Amino acid sequence: MLWLILIAMVAITWFYLRGEDLSPYDGPVGESFDRGQGRNEEHDAVEASFKVGMGPIQRASRKERLKLMREYMDGISESQQIDAEIRPVVAGGIPAEWVLAPGVNTARRVLYIHGGAFMMGSPRSHRNITARFSAVANAAVLAIDYRLMPENSRKAGIEDCRTAYRWLLQNGPEGLCAADRLFVGGDSAGGNLTLSLIDWLRDQPLRSPDAAVALSPLTDATFSGPNVKRNIETDAMLGPMFSSFMRLPRFVLLWLGLFQNRTGPSEPVISPVFGDLSGLPPTLVQASESEILFDDARRYVNKAQAAGSPVRLQTWNHVPHVWQMFYPDLTEAREAWEQIGAFIAELEPAAEPARAA
């Protein structure tokens, strides 16, 4: 009987959980901004801040760790100067906030979906990102507080993103008003939700976003990329947090993903890279060559390009996961936001240029 169970588990893993072989998309890495100068004092300062913040969390009991990590993430923005107005709002039943850089055009809107491993993070924790996004896009940013795991299912957060998008189509900071220009963005887990959302929108009778931006997105919940393990030591943010998890055998990771997400980890709604990537809106993906999710970005972009979608990849080296949050302290963060502003500007009608970064 035990052998039959083991054989069934192997068959389920092989034919259902692991998904297609993505190694054919390990080719070109996109546009690299690596200057070949190695690490510097800016990188060291950022990593030192991680160690200070994560030290008490790593020493805490497993029961207390999630609570402390949530508090740590929400406190990140407290030490950063945010040049934007914050307005709390409820977006179709979803708690959210408007983030408005000075003088932005509120008919131009961004739905921003924060990261945090689907278990932490909030609009508050990501205000440095959303304020900068508002400035470079000349747009009102709606940052949503979607439902988190483990209190809720993974699909609850996905549904919240869809609900907020529908609401954003017809609502702005001043009330009912259709959006002139509409963008979607997110980082890490929020990047995953962003890419899942645009894939879903392609097949819906709804207006598609004019563009999407995904920062260090998770695209493959089967963790098949070689850099998941190879970059553990160079990923200053995710390495210390998830090194024990990522070193587990992939067979174990796949089954953990099944139970955690309550669906197969290779299902496109969970892992966008396994879906149909044709017909997507213009999309910019940025990733660090040093992070464990580098292959997620590279493989997604290469597969999307092969399907004919206007998706591009930009990479930097020696920077942490979602380094854009360290604007303006990191040179690479300033460069990344300049590129995001330029990407949006390329797509603008001549009469409505985006702001310079």
Q: In which band, very low, low, confident or very high, does the pLDDT at 294 lie, cut at 50, 70 and 90? A: very high
Task: Provide the token pair at 330.
Answer: 């990191």
State yes or no: pLDDT of 354 exceeds 60: no
Average pLDDT over residues 333-352: 90
Whether the CA torsion 336, 339, 343, 348 is positive or negative: it is positive
In CATH, what number is assigned to the domain containing residue 304? 3.40.50.1820
Instruction: For 112-139, write each residue's pLDDT tens digit.
Output: 999 999 999 999 999 999 999 999 999 9
**Number of structural domains the chain divides into:** 1
Q: Is there a domain that residue 4 lies in?
A: no
What does the longest C-alpha to C-alpha distance in the chain come to?
A: 70
Of 289, 321, 332, 335, the catalytic one is 321
Task: Provide the token pair at 184.
Answer: 């979607």
State yes or no: pLDDT of 277 exceeds 80: yes
Q: Is there a domain that residue 32 lies in?
A: no
Question: What is the pTM (predicted TM-score) of this model?
Answer: 0.92
Q: In which band, very low, low, confident or very high, does the pLDDT at 244 lie, cut at 50, 70 and 90? A: low
281: cis peptide before it, omega within 30°?
no
Q: Is there a domain that residue 33 lies in?
A: no
State yes or no: pLDDT of 43 exceeds 70: yes
Instruction: For 259-270, write each residue's pLDDT tens digit.
Output: 677 788 889 999
Q: Is there a domain that residue 299 lies in?
A: yes
- Residue 37: the pLDDT is 75
Judged by average pLDDT, the poorest of 18-22, 97-101, 294-298, 326-330 is: 18-22
Higher per-residue pLDDT: 8 or 89? 89
Please provide the average confidence, as pLDDT, over all residues in the chain: 89
Contact between 154 and 261 under an 8 Å Cβ cutoff? The reply is: yes
Range of the structural domain that residue 314 is part of: 40-346
- Residue 8: the pLDDT is 47
Residue 98 one-letter amino acid:
W
Q: Is there a domain that residue 355 lies in?
A: no
Q: Is there a domain that residue 203 lies in?
A: yes
- Residue 45: the pLDDT is 86
Q: In three state form, how does the secondary structure of the chain look?
A: CHHHHHHHHHHHHHHHHCCCCCHHHCCCCCEECCCCCCCCHHHHHHHHHHHHHHHHHHHCCHHHHHHHHHHHHHHHHHHCCCCCEEEEEEECCEEEEEEECCCCEEEEEEEEECCCCCCCCCCCCCHHHHHHHHHHHCEEEEEECCCCCCCCCHHHHHHHHHHHHHHHHHEECCEECCCCEEEEEEECHHHHHHHHHHHHHHCCCCCCCCEEEEECCCCCCCCCCCHHHHCCCCCCCHHHHHHHHHCCCHHHHHHHHHHHHCCCCCCCCCCHHHCCCCCCCCEEEEEECCCCCHHHHHHHHHHHHHCCCCEEEEEECCCCCCHHHHCCCCHHHHHHHHHHHHHHHHCCCCCCCCCCC
Of 188, 196, 216, 288, the catalytic one is 188
End-to-end CA distance of the chain: 63
Give the other-Cβ count within 10 Å of 13's Cβ.
Answer: 16
Q: Is there a domain that residue 9 lies in?
A: no
How far is it, in rounded angstroms, from Cα 139 to Cα 241? 34
- Residue 14: the pLDDT is 47
Pairing of strands 175-176, 181-187: unpaired
- Residue 80: the pLDDT is 83
Q: In which band, very low, low, confident or very high, does the pLDDT at 243 lie, cut at 50, 70 and 90? A: low
Average pLDDT over residues 237-251: 72
Judged by average pLDDT, the poorest of 29-33, 67-71, 207-211 is: 29-33
Of 291, 309, 332, 335, the catalytic one is 291
291 is catalytic: yes
Average pLDDT over residues 34-62: 79
Average pLDDT over residues 56-70: 84
Strand partners, 99: 86, 141
State yes or no: pLDDT of 255 exceeds 70: no
Average pLDDT over residues 155-167: 98
Q: Is there a domain that residue 56 lies in?
A: yes
Average pLDDT over residues 81-91: 95
Angle, vertex CA 114, rays to CA 270 and CA 220, nearest 5: 25
How far is it, in rounded angstroms, from Cα 24 to Cα 347? 30
